[in-house]
Amino acid sequence: MKRPAAVLKRPAAKISPGDDDSEESHSEEVRRKPAASIRKRPAAFPDEGEEEEEEEEEEEPKAQKVSRSMKTPPSKKEARTAIKEAARRQKLVQKLKKDIKPLAQKLKEKREELKAAEKELEKHSATAGKLARAIEREDKAKALKRKRRQKSLAQKAGQRMKDLRERLADAKAEVSKLKVAKDLGSSWYPLGYKGLLYNMGV
């Protein structure tokens, strides 16, 4: 005797299409997990602490992204203040550039004048150096000439003094001879006293 169809089949209301999908997905996950774990794990299985550290490192960038997204945007007041400050700085820079422009032109002119003056100075310095060296040579020549003249005069004066001393010595010798001859009463000196004076150049 055959059983009724109601007994053999489960009621359709108890099984929903989502349950079938969940069971299939669950079974697929169960089948995939061992293979993935076998592929990813090295020969020495990592400790549970290392797995927890990896999970924490993965969670940190997510937390940073969330904190960045939670930052409040700048207010309009701050934006206006920043724009005004930038405009003020821009005006200041333009004013300084405007003030510097004539000064730069003057500085350029002064540099050109300085360059020309330096060239003239070099020329005059060269001329002055030549003249100074010429004067120095002339002064040295004059000093040497003066020194030689003084030396010559000194030599001449010394020679004259020597000659005078010799003449004086000769005169003294002649006088002493005359005295001796006079004392002896002889005519040893033929010319007499006048001849002696003539020989002395008196």
pLDDT per position as a tens digit, 4-60: 444 445 544 444 444 444 444 445 554 554 444 444 444 444 444 555 555 555 556
Residue 181: closest CA among 172, 195, 197, 192: 192
Indicate the residue type of 140.
Answer: K
3-state SS class at 128: helix
pTM of the model: 0.31
pLDDT value at 185 more than 70: no
CA distances from 119 to 109, 126, 127, 133 (A): 16, 11, 13, 21
pLDDT for res 88: 92
Measured CA to CA, the distance from residue 92 to residue 96 in angstroms comes to 6
pLDDT tops 80 at residue 159: yes
> Where is average pLDDT lowest: 23-27, 79-83, 196-200?
23-27
